[in-house]
């Protein structure tokens, strides 16, 4: 049992409880920010899984867009607005796509992997922007989300969506966390450090990468589905264009790869900076975002979580010192 | 397919290819020497277009000799190449050469975001139109259809740039130093080549080419926000298709993409946007190093 109740699990659970409590008190606009942070954080979590094995994707808007559009198209053409059903479809479709592309992408490393992802995401963008039946550049508007037989109106809808999304995100983060602690999960680091040695130990690096890619696609689709329901509208420029993929990498590098909780904290900080910059300095909000990213790249290349790591290392170091002193 | 359509596709494709070549050749030069994918290149294109458009409007209002407009383009591209090139290379990239390639791409992406807003701060959100040079050159009828001479002249410009680059790389001392640096950075440093200087000069030349692409394109388009975002990903596609760091690759890549896009526009417009990235994905799958990747020396 102890194996399943480590510190991260506790922290995530406390985070979930906190979010649900906070949900009762926050204003509508802040709830949207929190929801979007959950969505984008999920995609960044997918990037984290890949990053652990040294791979970066410049095209994760592909899965984000796929998840979002799956939800939108189901609402538009099938008329099903049930959140449980649409989100499941979004996740499965995006994950399926990742699984199929994985057969190809698992052979690539470094910049080629990143660029091939970019190419695929731009193909999706081209299809979405050109096809009339997929909404073209105007996109598709979604009807209000329902939850099984419960169909809240107005502000109550976002309220319900938030609790729904928070619980699911908690589940996703936990699942990814426990995956990363499994044998297959620890292989991520092994792939990054020395692929040849891993192969000689009898594991297949390509298969490990394929699994990770599929997971990151599933999680990316989940994020897209949540985003579509939150915004209530999908369009190619805000769901699948290349700067969106850039934003995800931004969040991932801002957060660091230390912990599955990091991308969500990073995404929240990202959304807050963006909202604040957009509100206060609409002329130069991109400049502020770019400047922040530059500062992170230059001075904190391992992300915000490296601060936590540094702090906890110092603490454990001190603990050890004290223990030794006591012994003496 | 009738022959008229074929001619149109070929000419449109060639014009579009020369535009692509102009925006991607600087990117590939920087990529070859410094081994980085430089996202700020899109901002240089946009800056080139904006500066030229503004200067041209002033220039034509003053009523100076009309053909001097081309001189204005060249001067603004050189100016931007030197100013922005030095700022970006000395201020940012210099500190990142030892970093992971992904980190460098991200840093240039960040710088690109910053430059995009600097652009908005200087020029605002209005569109600038300076079509006088386009009018000046008139039109030619090919296959009973009028084509702008200005667009056709872009083909000429790319050819000139191509020849100058070839000459500069193969026949001058600096070009040979550059090739040595591409081949082995450390060894060339040991032989007495000032790699820092070579990097800076390459970056200025690359930036100049990006700005020149924008400057020359300015009269043919409406210069408005977002042109840099669109261009850089196209240039990426061309560079990847041709082979990162290869000038003949950029040439072939532009031709392939240009003609494929023209064919799509005239035969199946729905395909227009994604045919380019289809080719990019296809090339990456079949030949990830690109069609014309420079041969990698085997080092011990």
**Residues forming beta bridges with residue B142, ordered by sequence position:** B145
Among A93-97, A149-153, A281-285, B254-258, the minimum mean pLDDT is found in A149-153
Q: How much is the average pLDDT of B86-91?
A: 92
Interface test with B, best of A104, A115, A243, A270 (most B CBs within 10 A): A115
Residues 182-221 of chain A with CB under 8 A from chain B are: none
Interface check for B273 against chain A (CB to CB < 8 A): the answer is yes
- Based on its alpha-carbon atoms, the radius of gyration of chain B, rounded to whole angstroms, reads 19
Facing residue for B103 by CB, picked from A131, A287, A297: A297
Interface check for B87 against chain A (CB to CB < 8 A): the answer is no
Q: With contacts defined as CB-CB under 8 Å, which chain B residues touch A277?
A: none
Nearest to A9 by CA among A141, A173, A159, A148: A173
More confident residue, A194 or B237: B237
What chain A residue is nearest to B121 in terms of C-alpha separation? A283
Q: A286, B116: Cβ pair inside 8 Å?
A: yes
Q: How much is the average pLDDT of A263-282?
A: 89
pLDDT at residue A317, rounded to an integer: 65
Residues 119-178 of chain A with CB under 8 A from chain B are: 119-120, 122-123, 125-127, 129-131
More confident residue, B208 or B129: B208
Which pLDDT band, with edges at 50, 70 and 90, does A131 fall under? confident
Among A248-262, B115-129, B132-146, B242-256, the minimum mean pLDDT is found in B132-146
Rounded to the nearest angstrom, the minimum Cα separation between B285 and chain A is 8
What chain A residue is nearest to B238 in terms of C-alpha separation? A119
Q: Rounded distance, CA B243 to CA B136, Å?
A: 37
Rounded to the nearest angstrom, the minimum Cα separation between A146 and chain B is 35
Q: B107, A116: Cβ pair inside 8 Å?
A: no
Q: B273, A129: Cβ pair inside 8 Å?
A: yes
Interface check for B71 against chain A (CB to CB < 8 A): the answer is no
In the predicted model, what is the mean pLDDT of chain B? 87
Segment B63-80, tens digit of pLDDT: 788 778 888 889 999 999
Asked if residue B300 has pLDDT above 60, the reply is no
Which pLDDT band, with edges at 50, 70 and 90, does B40 fall under? very high
More confident residue, B144 or B27: B27
Interface check for B191 against chain A (CB to CB < 8 A): the answer is no
More confident residue, B288 or A208: A208
What chain B residue is nearest to A243 in terms of C-alpha separation? B229
Q: B114, A246: Cβ pair inside 8 Å?
A: no
Q: B273, A126: Cβ pair inside 8 Å?
A: yes
A 10 A CB-CB count for B226 gives: 11
Interface check for A244 against chain B (CB to CB < 8 A): the answer is no
What chain B residue is nearest to A249 in terms of C-alpha separation? B106
pLDDT at residue A319, rounded to an integer: 65
Q: With contacts defined as CB-CB under 8 Å, which chain B residues touch A127?
A: 273-274
Nearest to A44 by CA among A268, A240, A228: A268
A 10 A CB-CB count for A199 gives: 14
Tokens 């896009």 map to which residue?
B261
Q: B278, A293: Cβ pair inside 8 Å?
A: no
Facing residue for B106 by CB, picked from A110, A249, A285: A249
> What domains lie within chain A, and their CATH numbers?
2-327 (1.10.3470)
Q: Provide the ipTM.
A: 0.83
Nearest to A243 by CA among A99, A64, A53, A39: A64
Q: Are A142 and A71 in contact (CB under 8 A)?
A: yes
Q: A297, B280: Cβ pair inside 8 Å?
A: no
Interhelix angle B195-217/B149-171, nearest 10 degrees: 170
In chain A, what percentage of residues exceed pLDDT 90? 30
Segment A28-72, tens digit of pLDDT: 888 889 999 999 999 999 999 988 888 888 889 999 999 999 999
Q: How much is the average pLDDT of B219-236?
A: 86
Interface check for B230 against chain A (CB to CB < 8 A): the answer is no
CB pairs under 8 A between A and B: 122
Asked if residue B264 has pLDDT above 50, the reply is yes
> Looking at the whole model, is its pTM more than 0.95?
no
Asked if residue B295 has pLDDT above 80, the reply is no
Which pLDDT band, with edges at 50, 70 and 90, does B233 fall under? confident
Tokens 């890549």 map to which residue?
B253
Asked if residue A20 has pLDDT above 90, the reply is no
Among A189-203, A309-323, B32-46, B155-169, the minimum mean pLDDT is found in A309-323
pLDDT at residue A2, rounded to an integer: 47
pLDDT at residue A323, rounded to an integer: 64
In chain B, what percentage of residues exceed pLDDT 90? 29
Burial of A72 per CB tally in 10 Å (0-12, 13-18, 19+): buried
Which span out of A103-112, A214-223, B119-128 was modeled with the highest average pLDDT? Answer: A214-223
Asked if residue A322 has pLDDT above 70, the reply is no
Alpha helix (H) residue ranges in B63-148: 68-91, 101-123, 132-137
The upper half-sphere exposure of residue B33, i.e. CA atoms within 13 Å in the direction of its Cβ, equals: 28
In the predicted model, what is the mean pLDDT of chain A? 86
Query: Torsion-angle region of residue B181: left (phi > 0), alpha (psi -120 to 50) or beta?
Result: alpha
Asked if residue A149 has pLDDT above 70, the reply is yes
Rounded (5°) CA angle B203-A288-B207: 15
Rounded to the nearest angstrom, the minimum Cα separation between A279 and chain B is 15
**Residues forming beta bridges with residue B139, ordered by sequence position:** B148
pLDDT at residue B68, rounded to an integer: 80
Interface check for A299 against chain B (CB to CB < 8 A): the answer is no
Q: How much is the average pLDDT of A8-13?
A: 86
Interface test with B, best of A56, A60, A122 (most B CBs within 10 A): A122
Q: How much is the average pLDDT of B116-135?
A: 84
Q: With contacts defined as CB-CB under 8 Å, which chain B residues touch A57?
A: none
Q: B284, A250: Cβ pair inside 8 Å?
A: no
Alpha helix (H) residue ranges in A235-261: 236-239, 242-255
pLDDT at residue B255, rounded to an integer: 92
């Amino acid at each position: 049992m102890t194996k399943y109740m480590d510190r991260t699990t506790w922290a995530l659970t406390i985070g979930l409880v906190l979010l649900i409590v906070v949900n009762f008190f926050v204003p509508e606009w802040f709830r949207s920010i929190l929801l979007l942070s959950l969505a984008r954080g999920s995609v960044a979590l997918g990037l984290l899984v890949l990053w652990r094995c040294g791979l970066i994707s410049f095209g994760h808007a592909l899965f984000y867009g796929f998840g979002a559009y799956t939800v939108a198209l189901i609402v538009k053409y099938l008329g099903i607005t049930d959140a449980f059903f649409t989100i499941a479809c979004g996740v499965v479709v995006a994950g399926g796509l990742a699984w199929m592309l994985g057969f190809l992408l698992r052979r690539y490393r470094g910049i080629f992997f990143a660029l091939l992802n970019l190419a695929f995401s731009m193909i999706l963008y081209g299809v979405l922007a050109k096809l009339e039946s997929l909404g073209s550049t105007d996109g598709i508007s979604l009807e209000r989300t329902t939850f099984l037989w419960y169909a809240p109106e107005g502000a109550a809808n976002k309220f319900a969506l938030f609790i729904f999304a928070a619980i699911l995100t908690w589940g996703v983060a936990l699942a990814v966390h426990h995956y990363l602690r499994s044998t297959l999960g620890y292989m991520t680091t092994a792939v990054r450090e020395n692929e040849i040695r891993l192969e000689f130990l009898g594991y297949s690096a390509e298969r490990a990468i394929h699994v990770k890619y599929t997971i990151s696609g599933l999680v990316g689709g989940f994020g897209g589905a949540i985003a579509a329901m939150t915004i209530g509208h999908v369009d190619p420029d805000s769901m699948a264009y290349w700067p969106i993929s850039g934003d995800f990498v931004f969040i991932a590098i801002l957060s660091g790869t230390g912990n599955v909780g990091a991308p969500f904290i990073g995404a929240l900080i990202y959304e807050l900076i963006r909202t604040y910059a957009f509100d206060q300095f609409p002329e130069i909000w991109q400049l502020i975002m770019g400047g922040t990213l530059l500062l992170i790249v230059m001075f904190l290349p391992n992300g915000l979580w490296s601060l936590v790591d540094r702090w906890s290392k110092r603490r454990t170091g001190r603990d050890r010192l004290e223990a030794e002193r006591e012994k003496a | 397919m009738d022959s008229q359509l074929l001619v149109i596709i070929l000419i449109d494709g060639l014009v579009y290819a020369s535009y692509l070549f102009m925006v991607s050749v600087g990117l590939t030069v920087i990529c070859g020497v410094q081994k980085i994918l430089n996202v700020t290149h899109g901002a240089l294109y946009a800056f080139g277009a904006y500066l030229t458009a503004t200067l041209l409007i002033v220039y034509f209002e003053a009523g100076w000799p009309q053909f001097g407009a081309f001189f204005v383009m060249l001067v603004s591209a050189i100016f931007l190449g030197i100013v922005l090139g030095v700022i970006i290379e000395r201020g940012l990239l210099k500190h990142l050469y030892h970093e992971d390639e992904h980190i460098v791409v991200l840093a240039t992406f960040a710088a690109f975001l910053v430059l995009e807003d600097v652009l908005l701060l200087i020029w605002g959100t209005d569109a600038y139109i300076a079509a006088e040079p386009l009018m000046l050159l008139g039109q030619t009828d090919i296959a009973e259809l009028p084509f702008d001479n200005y667009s056709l002249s872009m083909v000429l410009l790319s050819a000139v740039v191509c020849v100058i680059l070839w000459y500069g790389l193969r026949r001058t001392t600096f070009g040979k130093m550059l090739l040595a640096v591409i081949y082995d950075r450390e060894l060339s440093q040991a032989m007495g080549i000032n790699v820092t200087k070579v990097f800076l000069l390459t970056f200025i030349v690359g930036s100049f080419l990006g700005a020149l692409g924008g400057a020359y394109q300015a009269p043919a388009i409406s210069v408005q926000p977002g042109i840099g975002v669109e261009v850089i990903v196209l240039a990426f596609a061309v560079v990847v298709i041709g082979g990162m760091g290869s000038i003949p690759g950029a040439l072939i890549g532009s031709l392939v993409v240009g003609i494929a896009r023209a064919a799509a526009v005239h035969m199946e417009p729905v395909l227009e946007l994604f045919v380019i990235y289809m080719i990019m994905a296809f090339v990456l799958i079949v030949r990830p190093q690109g069609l014309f990747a420079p041969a990698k020396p085997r080092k011990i």
